[in-house]
Chain A
């Protein structure tokens, strides 16, 4: 499996609201609300951490789900956000991204 790297687009606004992460695309004003799991992936999307590592550390370890299923769901989620310009996806680390996200406590 080839690695995927994801980074949050700069053309979005994001805020936590009532326990949910709410994201708006500045390009087309589409609004998304993310589940708790999706929020963890979103927050870890630093362009340098492989998606598989994000899923393993931020999803599987914290939500007790098997890696294969979690990774498939994460790929679908990433694909959807990418289609709206909310995330950028690459098979290489995105070097213009912000510094690597801090480890979860």
Chain B
């Protein structure tokens, strides 16, 4: 493990695990996923293996009930808020999430994609409360400091993750997890994988820089003004709802972030030189 980083969850112990579910701790936030189906529990255990933490006291609770069939999942997720309760809906799942009671439920078929989508949304809502966010970005830890590489699909997130040298621990190739920490931020590993289809390392590290990716013939780093940085960041933050209070929070979070963290445009050659300028 790189110096300055530390694990955020202990390795799972099936002997200590409760029989009606499992606790998934992502970003230091443990959520208990309750399911009475042992096969689905096993599927979740495998899917989130590095993030299962039976020793953590769950801060939140999601009850999953499996349904036999559902519509295809290629439609957009719809997220709305009513009476303090968030409603999440896509063809393959329905869910509710009550921030106040810290509980929610999910109705879905026995597949890992539905609960993965629900967890992304729930974590994005939780992070919005405290000035953090999930962002379309790869991230990695080098010498105890985290570097985040953001961009749209095709910008090079997975490429950067694939080309990470041995001294870099990849936190994710797809969705980076950013939390406020004192006057700065920490980046956390996530199991939300992209094309690499590999969960990230379950680590956290203080955030050193955010880079917006561009592929080019050679590596270079160019400064980005704060306004341009805020605009670009807002385009890449995972954002599911039209709720005005949430929009304001995300805006505040992005502006605060770019005023505290170095942000630059990172042009990189998609080969073994990719990480030469990082660190």
Contacts and interface: CB of A to CB of B under 8 A. Distances in A.
A20 interface: yes
A61 interface: no
B247 A13 contact: yes
A13 B252 contact: yes
Interface in B223-279: 225-227, 230-231, 234, 244, 247-248, 251-252, 255-256, 258-259
B234 A29 contact: yes
Contact of B227 (A11, A20, A27, A29): A20
Interface residues of B, number: 15
A27 B246 CA distance: 11
Interface in B180-239: 225-227, 230-231, 234
A26 interface: yes
B227 A22 contact: yes
B80 to A, nearest CB: 15
A76 interface: no
Contact count band on A? 10 to 19
Interface string A5-26: 0000001110101101010101
A26 B247 CA distance: 6
Given A20-B227, A22-B230, A29-B234, A15 B255 contact: yes
A84 to B, nearest CB: 14
A65 interface: no
B124 to A, nearest CB: 15
Given A22-B227, A22-B230, A31-B230, A17 B247 contact: no
Nearest to A20: B227
Nearest to A19: B226
A31 B248 CA distance: 12
B221 to A, nearest CB: 19
Interface string A30-74: 010100000000000000000000000000000000000000000
A38 B33 CA distance: 50
A22 B255 contact: yes
A24 B248 CA distance: 8
Chain B CB within 10 A, most for which of A12, A20, A27, A31: A31
B248 A26 contact: yes
Contacts of B248: 12-13, 24, 26
A15 B227 CA distance: 11
Contact of A18 (B227, B231, B247): B227
A22 B247 CA distance: 14
Contacts of B258: 17
10 contacts: A13-B252, A17-B227, A17-B258, A18-B259, A22-B227, A24-B251, A26-B244, A26-B247, A31-B231, A33-B227
Given A12-B248, A18-B259, A26-B247, 20 more contacts: A13-B247, A13-B248, A13-B251, A15-B251, A15-B252, A17-B226, A17-B258, A20-B227, A22-B227, A22-B230, A24-B234, A24-B248, A24-B251, A26-B244, A26-B248, A29-B234, A31-B230, A31-B231, A31-B234, A33-B227
